[in-house]
Structure 1
Amino acid sequence: MLCCEIMAAIMVKAIEDCGLNSLGCMAHTLQLAVHDGVLSQRSISDCMAIGRKIVWHFKHSHLAMSRLGEIQTELGLSKKMLQQDTPTRWNSTFYMMSSLLAQKRALSAYGAEFELPASFSAYQWGLIENAVTLLAPFEELTREISSHTATDSDVIPSVEALKRLLNKSLSTDRGVKTTKATLLEAVKQRFNGIYTKPLYFLATILDPRYNDRFFDQATKQRVTEMLLRQLNKMTELENSTEKERNETEPPLKKTCTKSDGGATSLLDMYGAILEENMATEHQTHQTSPVGQQVNAYLSEPPISRSESPLQFWKSNMSHFPALAQAARKYLSAPCTSVDSERLFSAASNVIDEKRNRLMCEKAEMLLFIKKKHPTLTFTDEVARQSCF
């Protein structure tokens, strides 16, 4: 935990020294919201404590693990280890409770024959199951935003989808209604700051997966005007070579909203918000070329969430030149520091005690190759030829 805090402080300091605008890590904010809304609840924390005792029992006893494996085989269950959690990462606690739920029958059979340091009551098993169901969308979102393709445009739509999901009454709310309400308030409080930063709004409206469909009518007008101001500033800086390059205009790539396969409740919330705002008319009352581009773009149906927004702008660069330039600027910021931290970890595999005299330029080239070609190893002939 201390190392993560030091690394985060270093990255924040580096951004400030460069004079750049910085955004908070969405994954860390989710961690704080889940802790405030769920993990700090007495009934849930008691279940977590019992779960850790059970997992610790099997992690520190080969005999107990062997006996559990035999019971799993007898019950026709796959042999799986119980997962230990890390208090600083809420999703590891989610995985621990999920693994305990998956082995509920095996643990009950084990407890009937052998001694366990603690056990769950029937009520606590039900509470764990409902809590895991409640947190499943948060776990899914954490995986999505931790991807190297996630950008700052994902923040507002994801938060809006989460809030709508938490406002719904479900059959699995029994025993966790108060926890769910507390979690909703924690999400609102922790993410309240995103609605004060123009960068989030501009990135969202420039993402063709979201467009302006995640804003209310007043916010749509405000963000559209904000986008027009930025586009006008950027248009003034365009040079003649860019205009010549865009003279030949390829046909517009037609896109449409498609339903994602295997939709979950969180995905349903994205779709519901898009459908509610699909029929809204978009008028900026602008006759300038930039204003016409904005009108045409906002009239386009959003593309599927499984498609790449950067690929969309690459295909439609000539049709929306000003918007494509703005998208290149505002869709470049990641919404978490996860990928940056992964890069620090990758650097430790390049520069170690046995290669401590590797030049900075060589190490940077190796990291670049590893980032662009994840399937390659640092000992591959391609990497060696590229760097040496």
Structure 2
Amino acid sequence: MRSMKTKLQESMNQRFAYIQGHAALITWTLLDPRFKNTYLNSDEVDIATMTIENHMRIYADNSCETAGTSDQELSSSYRLFPYEKDGGLWDVHDKSTSQEIQSSDVSDKDDLSTHVKKNIEIYLAEPRLQRNADIYSYWDCSPFVSLRKVALKYLSAPPTTVSSEQLFSAAGQIYSDRRSNLLKENVDKLLFLTYNIRLFHYEY
């Protein structure tokens, strides 16, 4: 019995050890209000926080690019007026305004890390939802607007296939029109090899 328990533990560690360091799964667990950091250690919480921060930086950069494009188009349309001339006192004003906007963008990016950590701390301090609760309704009404986009990205249903579907798919690839003369016994052997040869770490 002890040998069986040891073998089972070794097999579980071999098959699922990668999950502990998988950033997407860690982030998914943290953003699920039913679990949060219940099964995560401090290092894993840091990994999830960094992942969320990276996504929020991407969202912020995209929104800044969109806003910058619209502002540029707007300013170019203003220049079509005949009474506005280049040069003079207003150039100094325009340059100083542009520098203020750029510096505020940099400070916003610097503050983003603090903002994310603060939101996550408040989010984790809230009580967890019941296991059968609707997590999407929670995020729709959640006050953590900045975390909502990332949560909806990670909490979407992943595409999955069951073993029977995978088996029929492999059979369809082996038993193609060009190989329609294969005997049933040979198809069974090829299917067996397809799914078991990887256990021997065979490289094609």
Length-normalised TM-score, structure 2: 0.49
Greater relative CO, 1 or 2 (CA 8 Å, sep 6+): 2
Structure (1 or 2) with the greater helix fraction: 2
Higher-Rg structure is: 2
TM-score (norm 1): 0.28
